[in-house]
Amino acid sequence: MNTIKRAFASLHFLSEYAHYITGHRERQAEFRRLAAGRRRERIFIVGNGPSLNEIDLSCLEDEDYFLCNHADRIDWVKGRQHPFYIAADKRAINGYAGGAPTVEADVYFLEEEFKPLLPVGFTEKARIIWFTRARGGTQKRGFSPRPWISIAGGQTVLLSATQIALFMGYSEIYILGCDLNYSTPAPYAYAVSEDEFRAARRDEEKMIQNTNLGFARLRAGSERRGQRIFNAGSGGNLEALARIRFEDIFKAD
């Protein structure tokens, strides 16, 4: 059975690779230019969990970091320019004011299925690196070393952001706001609609299990590459990563 599964996985990869050969050489160049321009050794991958309200996000002002999905609802995010933004679930578009991300970012990483759904004015102006989600998820495929072909996803886009950060060569990657706790009255760092709240509660068990499996795969792969991934969030159910206190990261600076 495992042999058959591996064979199917290989077939999926070959189809994705053929897609790259025919049209994604420029995408490869974009990813490589971005990696070549990296100036720091650490990066923060910022989710939207309520634990963000317990830390001083202003510490990130001189750092590299990813924001995701509806981060524009977080007070600290508003009115600032940010390094990276990522979204992969088309449902995020439903929450965009004006139909496009309102987070002001230097670089946007967007799943290619967003392309026909976003306003032309946004796609022409913004620096966007499109990516394709790989079939199978991070918990099954592990680290995707060639993000211009496809990036394994999962229950949270933070898994995809972490793989981009690994490809870019960051030696230390810190996960924030990946609380994986949707049984609380406030499962996000901001207010959500009743529909968003119900959706989060419905997928909670799967979210916790698959996200931990995905980060465990990425942790193992990163250690082989001499890179490290930490959970710098407060509380929550992300247990696959070693924990570090957010404020302690900056004490040695």
pTM: 0.88
Rounded CA-CA distance 34/219 in Å is 22
Given a cut of 90, whether residue 189 has pLDDT beyond it is: no
Three-state SS at 63: coil
Residue 78, pLDDT score: 93
Each residue's pLDDT tens digit, 171-186: 999 999 999 987 777 7
Given a cut of 60, whether residue 22 has pLDDT beyond it is: no
Beta partners for residue 75, in sequence order: none
Beta strands in the chain (DSSP E): 42-46, 64-68, 81-87, 104-111, 128-131, 133-134, 151-152, 172-176, 228-231, 242-243
Domain assignments of the chain as residue spans, ordered by start: 2-250
Beta partners for residue 107, in sequence order: 84
Q: How far apart are the first and last CA of the chain?
A: 51
Each residue's pLDDT tens digit, 42-101: 999 999 999 999 999 999 999 999 999 999 999 999 999 999 999 998 888 887 888 899
As given in the structure block, the two tokens for residue 193 are 């609609």
CATH domain 2-250 topology: sialyltransferase cstii, chain A (3.90.1480)
As given in the structure block, the two tokens for residue 94 are 């439903």
Rounded CA-CA distance 108/11 in Å is 30
Where residue 2 falls among pLDDT bands split at 50, 70, 90?
A: low
Each residue's pLDDT tens digit, 229-243: 999 999 899 999 999
Rounded CA-CA distance 67/105 in Å is 9
Each residue's pLDDT tens digit, 150-177: 999 888 999 999 999 999 999 999 999 9
